[in-house]
């Protein structure tokens, strides 16, 4: 992510134009969409209810889109939900150099054979970078499309030192530069499986794995994709230990929030043209608000994806909302009012109770939330608790969300 202008944010990763077009079918430019519509969510209620059961089948606690299984031949990495409503799955054989020498296998039975631990990798989403850093393998990253979007100080040093090459745009990766880098693996994300750049890369013999963390239906399920990277680096135990700490911190924060005796009413998002987009009650974002013990005013909705409402419908229901989270890309009250003076009629505006993560950025303008938020849902939840129940986390300073 980067800020090319003061109040405009170009979004990468989870918010590609194509992904949002598929979800909303009514927008021209993603700069103007509110935060909470950026992540696809599974709309079928049964999927949310059965997360634990599905995850158990995949040897995970929450995540349902991947599975790592140790077999006599090596590790089998399966990707079962690489993008929304995918009817395609992938299977990769992960072998150490020793296993590769000793094992016999049918190459055609797999979508790729990968030697682990990976020593040279290209990732394509800023959400992948925290996993590399948490596992202490960020030194293996050799290329990234859109390096200005990267917020991490540690990885920015490697970018500035030319240890990580710029690869252009995700939808049109500079394959010549990528081939010069000779990565052993490219970790991509897909919105429908038609990325021409990735198809070109695969033809050169470099394996491409689609990471579907953004398709998961809960915050902890997204974070559990750390174990996906753990398998690629033979660091399964370390990944599991780190995830358990994140899970514990998240659940402890949730328990603290449950002690609050009041549930502040919450409004999210802002207008894009004539439509106000908000998260559905079945979305991961609504899960955050529920776990923060708030009264999200649309918590009972069950639509797939996000809600698309008129200003009048939102105003009627939320004019008295106590807290307003993430009013799209707006970074100040002045900018919000200049966009639409009707925003000033909301109590949250009048009481200066609006909070955004858009102003929390790295050195080159990358929005920190879009990099670290997926990997650290515990920090996101604590931010919301601090905002909605400040008396519960007196000494906590928010990581992502700041007052408008």
Question: Per residue in 107-129, pLDDT tens?
Answer: 899 999 999 999 999 999 999 99
Provide the pLDDT confidence category of residue 233 given band limits of 50, 70 and 90: very high
Closest listed residue to residue 268, CA positions, set 385, 371, 354? 354
Whether pLDDT at 321 is above 80: yes
Share of the chain above pLDDT 70, in %: 86
Q: Tokens 């995830």 identify what position?
A: 243
| Predicted confidence (pLDDT) at residue 251 exceeds the cutoff of 60 | yes
* CB 304, CB 280: distance < 8 Å: yes
Question: What sign does the dihedral 32-35-40-44 (CA atoms) show?
Answer: negative
Residue 27 pLDDT exceeds 80: no
pLDDT at 222: 98
Q: For 84-98, 187-201, 287-301, which range has the lowest pLDDT when averaged over its residues?
A: 187-201
> Which CATH architecture is the domain 52-233 placed in?
3-Layer(aba) Sandwich (3.40)
Give the residue-averaged pLDDT of 280-286.
95
pLDDT(36) > 50:
no
Residue 26 has pLDDT above 80, yes or no: no
The pLDDT, as a whole number, for residue 58 is 73
Position 255 confidence tier, pLDDT thresholds 50, 70, 90: very high
Is residue 9 scored above 90 in pLDDT? no
Q: Is the pLDDT of residue 40 over 50?
A: no
Please give the full DSSP string across 264-284, using - where no structure is assigned: -EEEE--EETTEEEEE-TTSH
For residue 281, the cross-strand partners are none
Please check the confidence at residue 5 and state whether its pLDDT lies above 70: no
Mean per-residue pLDDT of the chain: 87
Give the separation between CA 186 and CA 19, rounded to whole angstroms: 20
CB-count exposure of residue 336 (10 Å: 0-12, 13-18, 19+):
buried
Q: Is the pLDDT score of 35 beyond 60?
A: no
Q: Is the pLDDT of residue 170 over 50?
A: yes
- How much of the chain, in percent, has pLDDT values that exceed 90? 78
State yes or no: pLDDT of 388 exceeds 50: yes
Domain with residues 13-44+253-403, CATH architecture: 3-Layer(aba) Sandwich (3.40)
Q: Place 190 in a pLDDT band, splitting at 50, 70 and 90.
A: confident
- Please spell the DSSP secondary structure of 78-142, one letter per residue: EES-SSTT----EEEEEE-HHHHHH----GGGSSEEEESS-SSEEE-SGGGHHHHHHTT-GGGEE
Confidence of residue 191 (pLDDT cuts 50, 70, 90): confident
55 falls in which pLDDT band (50, 70, 90)? low
Does residue 38 carry a pLDDT above 90? no
pLDDT band of 102, cuts 50, 70, 90: confident
Would you list the domain boundaries of the chain?
13-44+253-403, 52-233
pLDDT at residue 169, rounded to an integer: 83
In which element (H, E) is residue 340 found? none
**What per-residue confidence (pLDDT) applies to 304?**
79
Q: How many residues does the chain have?
A: 404
> So what's the pLDDT on residue 59?
86
Structure tokens at 153: 């100080």
pLDDT at 386 over 70: yes
Please list the residues that pair with 315 across neighbouring strands. Answer: none
CA-to-CA dists, residue 169 to 198, 206, 403, angstroms = 12, 19, 32
């Amino acid at each position: 992510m980067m800020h090319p202008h003061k109040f405009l944010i170009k979004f990468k990763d989870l918010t590609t134009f194509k992904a949002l077009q598929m979800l909303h079918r009514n927008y021209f430019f993603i700069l103007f969409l509110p935060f909470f519509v950026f992540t696809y969510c599974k709309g079928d209620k049964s999927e949310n209810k059965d997360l634990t059961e599905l995850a158990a089948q995949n040897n995970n606690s929450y995540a349902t889109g991947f599975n790592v299984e140790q077999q006599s031949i090596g590790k089998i990495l399966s990707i079962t939900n690489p993008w929304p409503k995918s009817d395609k799955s992938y299977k990769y054989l992960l072998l150490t150099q020793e296993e590769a020498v000793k094992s016999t296998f049918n190459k055609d039975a797999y979508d790729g054979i990968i030697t682990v631990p990976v020593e040279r990798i290209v990732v394509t989403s800023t959400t992948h970078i925290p996993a590399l850093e948490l596992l202490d393998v960020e030194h293996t990253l050799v290329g990234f499309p859109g390096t200005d979007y990267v917020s991490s100080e540690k990885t920015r040093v490697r970018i500035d030192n030319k240890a990580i090459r710029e690869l252009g745009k995700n939808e049109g990766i500079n394959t010549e530069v990528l081939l010069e880098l000779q990565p052993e693996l490219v970790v991509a994300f897909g919105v429908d499986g038609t990325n021409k750049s990735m198809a070109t890369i695969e033809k050169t013999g470099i394996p491409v794995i689609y990471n579907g963390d953004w398709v998961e239906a809960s915050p902890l399920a997204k974070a559990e994709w750390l174990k996906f990277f753990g398998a690629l680096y033979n660091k399964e135990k370390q990944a599991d230990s780190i995830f358990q700490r994140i899970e514990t911190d998240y659940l402890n924060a949730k328990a603290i929030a449950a002690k609050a005796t009041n549930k502040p009413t919450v409004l999210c998002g802002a207008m894009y043209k004539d439509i106000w987009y908000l998260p559905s009650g079945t979305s991961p974002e609504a899960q955050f608000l529920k776990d923060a013990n708030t009264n999200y005013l649309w918590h009972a909705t069950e639509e797939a994806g996000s809600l698309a409402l008129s200003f009048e419908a939102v105003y009627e229901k939320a004019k008295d909302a106590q807290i307003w989270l993430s009013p799209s890309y707006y970074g100040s009250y002045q900018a919000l009012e200049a966009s639409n003076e009707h925003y000033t009629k909301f109590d949250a505006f009048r009481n200066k109770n609006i909070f955004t993560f858009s102003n929390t950025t790295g050195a080159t303008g990358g929005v920190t939330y879009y990099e670290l938020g997926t990997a650290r849902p515990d920090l996101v939840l604590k931010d919301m608790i601090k905002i909605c129940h400040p008396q519960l986390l007196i000494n906590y300073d928010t990581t992502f969300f700041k007052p408008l």
